[in-house]
Amino acid sequence: MSTIQGVVGAATTTTASSSWSRRTTSYRLIVRAKGLICDVHTYIHTVEPSEKSVEIMRKFSEQYARRSGTYFCVDKGVTSVVIKGLADHKDSLGAPLCPCRHYDDKAAEANQGFWNCPCVPMRERKECHCMLFLTPDNDFAGQEQVILINYN
């Protein structure tokens, strides 16, 4: 009698460029039969945030920068990628969870709210791990509180 075992694994990776943040989830089905391992199927799913969510997060970021007296990074690509990461989490989790941290359980973290943008360290001490909101004395702070997002 042969033993056949199916294993499904999922891995999520995030890549970022100056123009877009993209989350890719790979699902792999591996079949084991008498010590033989065959990679049967790999499925790659790419998720991009909706333009509506990106626009909501862009407007929120501009308003919060003005209210908090902070500025966007001199490298606009950093600002763009972070805003798109927030929009992606808004779409997938229902909350703008900080995209620059690793979470064992993103849904639980989003529900807790500590790392939802603006996170507690930002609200209390003006410390933004993502470099989205920078104080004027930060070496990477630009002079802009407005950002244009490229949707391509």
Catalytic residues: 100
Closest CA relative to residue 25, chosen from 38, 17, 16, 14: 14
- What is the 8-class DSSP label of residue 23? E
Report d(CA 110, CA 103) in Å as an integer.
10
> Count of H helices and E strands in the chain?
4, 3
Cα separation of 18 and 150, whole Å?
10
Spell out the residues 6+ positions from residue 46 whose beta carbon is closer than 8 angstroms to its own: 22, 23, 24
Q: Which two tokens stand for residue 91?
A: 């779409």
Cα–Cα dist 8/75, whole Å: 40
